[in-house]
């Protein structure tokens, strides 16, 4: 299993974190998603068939792209 932590600058409230978690957990292979509103950090743990590229694509689609991605 792979774990990545990233900053999503568009996070402004708990609802934002809930949206990210809901959308990422809908991907097959995503096991855990944790977010922190104060730091705007999100940690996602996943395994195949989920990939980091697919996760980043979903984050862009829902308006919460990782910083620098």
Q: Strand ranges (DSSP E) for the chain? A: 2-7, 30-36, 41-46
29 within a domain of the structure (yes/no): yes
69 within a domain of the structure (yes/no): no
Structural domain that includes position 24: 2-62
Local confidence pLDDT in tens for the 69 residues of the chain: 999 999 999 999 999 999 999 999 999 999 999 999 999 999 999 999 999 999 999 999 999 999 986
- CATH number of the domain enclosing 52: 3.30.70.100
What local confidence, expressed as pLDDT, does residue 68 receive?
81
42 within a domain of the structure (yes/no): yes
* CA neighbours closer than 13 Å in the CB half-sphere of residue 11: 25
67 within a domain of the structure (yes/no): no
9 within a domain of the structure (yes/no): yes
How far is Cα 21 from Cα 27, in angstroms, rounded to an integer?
10
- Count of structural domains, the chain: 1
68 within a domain of the structure (yes/no): no
* CA neighbours closer than 13 Å in the CB half-sphere of residue 59: 24
């Amino acid at each position: 299993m792979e774990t990545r932590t990233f900053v999503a600058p568009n996070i402004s409230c708990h609802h934002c974190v809930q949206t990210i978690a809901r959308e990422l957990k809908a991907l097959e292979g995503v096991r855990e998603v944790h977010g922190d509103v104060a730091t705007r950090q999100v940690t996602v743990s996943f395994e195949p068939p989920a990939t980091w590229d697919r996760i980043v694509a979903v984050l862009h689609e829902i308006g919460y792209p990782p910083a620098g991605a």
